[in-house]
Amino acid sequence: MRNQIAAANWKMNLTYQQGEALLDEILKAKVELADHQHAVFAVPFPYLIMAQTKLSARKNYAAAAQNCSDQPAGAYTGEVSAEMLKSINIGYCVLGHSERREYFSEHNQSLAVKTQRCLELGITPIFCCGEPLSIREVDAQESYVEAQLKESLFHFSAEDISKIVIAYEPIWAIGTGKTATSAQAQEMHACIRRQLKEKYGQQVADAIPILYGGSVKAGNAKELFSSPDVDGGLVGGASLVAADFIKIIQALK
Ligand code: PGA
């Protein structure tokens, strides 16, 4: 079975002490993961070493960065490079979250560069895509997401694309409590997999995990993840509550 991933996205929430306590509580539950299951925690940069130290003691638990620079190194005040992440053993990096696209002007071309930087260093990009409400209302979500994938990812080789995790996050469902139905999620995930297949073939398309994000909760995770093309979730709000995120990890196929 392809990898199934419960990914927490803390965004800009929690103090260091609160983050540490949250991880301790989640780890105390001792949820064992099968070889194909992974629990990943995208935490703020200053917490990465703490999180990675705690998480890496457990099989298939890991910390992730929420972003990295498109520049390799140099005079870019306030930026964090992929190489810096690598030097503290971070194995995942969320890229192109809709909040970064909206508030920090990230676009498909710079995300292509960020993805390249991560791949070169063996960091798994969790590449976010997804449409705003205005696009969903005119039923243009498939071509919108296709353009995001084409412009950021489809120049990569089959070998490189196989190392990427995709997160489909309809923007109208993020932080709104308005989850896509499992049928809506499955429809878009199947569409993304079809696009991957057209470009890279069945085998590659079948191996790439596609996570759903947007108001995943303890109560809906099992149903969402049960769809054949939904390989787990990227979870904001509910990842800040230990009991909820534990249930979400347990909901993985
Ligand atoms: P949410 O956020 O679960 O709070 O909707 C998801 C995300 O932005 O990744």
List, for residues 214-227, the tens digit of each pLDDT value: 999 999 999 999 99
The pLDDT assigned to 175 comes to 81
pLDDT more than 70, % of the chain: 100
Q: Is the CB of 236 under 6 A from ligand 1?
A: yes
146 is catalytic: no
Q: Which helix (H) or strand (E) holds 229?
A: none
The pLDDT assigned to 179 comes to 81
User: Can you give the CATH number for the domain in which 235 is found?
Assistant: 3.20.20.70
Among protein residues, the one with the nearest Cα to ligand 1's atom 1 is 236
pLDDT at 37 over 90: yes
Q: What predicted TM-score, i.e. pTM, was given to this entire model?
A: 0.97
* Domain count for the chain: 1
**Distance set, CA 2 to CA 90, 104, 142, 180 (Å):** 21, 33, 23, 23
List, for residues 116-151, the tens digit of each pLDDT value: 999 999 999 999 999 999 999 999 999 999 999 999
| Sheet strands (E) in 24-123 | 37-42, 61-65, 92-95
**Residues 6 or more apart whose Cβ sits within 8 Å of residue 135:** 141, 144
CA of 98 to the centre of ligand 1 (A): 10
List, for residues 154-193, the tens digit of each pLDDT value: 999 999 999 999 999 999 988 887 888 999 999 999 999 9
Active-site pick, 99, 106, 131, 169: 169
91-105, 129-143, 165-179, 230-244: segment of lowest average pLDDT: 165-179
What is the domain range of residue 225?
A: 4-250
